[in-house]
Homo-oligomer: A and B are copies of this chain.
Amino acid sequence: MTGSLARFSVNQMTVKQLSLPELADACRDLGVVNVGLWREPVRTYGVEATAKLVRDAGLTVTTLCRGGFLTAIDPAERAAALADNRRAVDEAAALGTEVLVLVSGGLPAGSRDLHGARERIADALAELGPYAERHGVKLAIEPLHPMYAADRCVVSTLAQALDLAERFPAHQVGVTVDTYHVWWDDRAPAQIARAGAGGRIHSFQLADWTTPLPEGVLNGRGQIGDGAIDMREWRGHVEAAGYTGAIEVELFNDGLWARDGREVLAETAQRFLAHANR
């Protein structure tokens, strides 16, 4: 491979077929120095064990995915969600990452009130932001594509995410910019500039848009270069807004998961260099 992988980060979900030690080995062999981690496999392996593994491997943890799901109305459910998010902050701190990505949650069963759900997220952030700050962790609201608004994330645009984030200090709450979720939005470049001016771009992720979408629309995120998104253009937007951090490739893709994980990681790094490097 030619070009630098210094900014490249592989999100663990892209190669979820690899165990954490296998992922660390593959990163070492390929010269990958950054990883984004997910709570479930980290907890399975053990938070402290994972922290030691990545430290020994010289890997930087760029994000922990994910907290969130903060839209419940039921008081017990809300309390449980807040407690779980505090644990996620603790885990992020233990792993040495500054950024906890938040997927905000969908509509509660039977509700049709998007506005109310978004306000409950703000209420939760008022509790979680100071907690995260005390642990040296920043919360990154990730707007998800509008096709997830009902069942996964009522925050559908960067503008909405920033409207929420800006109620809090930037070192507590910012946003994740993921090309897969925002590529269709002609307002997104201006919102990236807004986020950058406020110091609120806490994470930048790449996935490509390929069709047809699979049933459930969760696991059809395209390999970089296979789809409709101009990765260099979006990298240009976030860098023009002052972002200098890692660029994390996060793919949920049944086809990629069915293949050899080391091969997929090598391909992903190559695609990053071919389509997203500047």
Cβ distance A216 to chain B, nearest Cβ, rounded Å: 4
With A214-B215, A216-B212: A230-B112 Cβ-Cβ less than 8 Å: yes
Contacting pair B107 A228 (CB below 8 A): yes
Q: Please pick, from B159, B217, B229, the residue contacting A112 in the complex, using a CB distance under 8 A.
A: B229
Q: How far is the CA of A112 from the CA of B210 in the complex (A)?
A: 12
Between A156, A157, A160, A228, the greatest number of chain B beta carbons within 10 A of the residue's beta carbon is seen for A228
Q: Is A267 an interface residue when CB atoms closer than 8 A count as contact?
A: no
Q: Is A18 an interface residue when CB atoms closer than 8 A count as contact?
A: no
Of the listed stretches A23-31, A34-42, A82-90, A145-153, chain B binds A145-153
Within A173-205, the residues touching B (CB, 8 Å) are 183-187
Q: Measuring CB to CB, which residues of chain A are less than 8 angstroms from any residue of chain B? A: 107, 111-115, 145-147, 149-151, 156-157, 159-160, 183-187, 209, 211-217, 227-230, 233
In the complex, 19 of the A-B residue pairs with CB atoms within 8 angstroms, ordered by the A residue number, are A107-B228, A113-B230, A114-B184, A146-B146, A146-B185, A147-B213, A149-B209, A150-B184, A150-B211, A156-B185, A157-B186, A159-B187, A160-B186, A212-B215, A212-B216, A213-B213, A213-B215, A213-B216, A213-B217
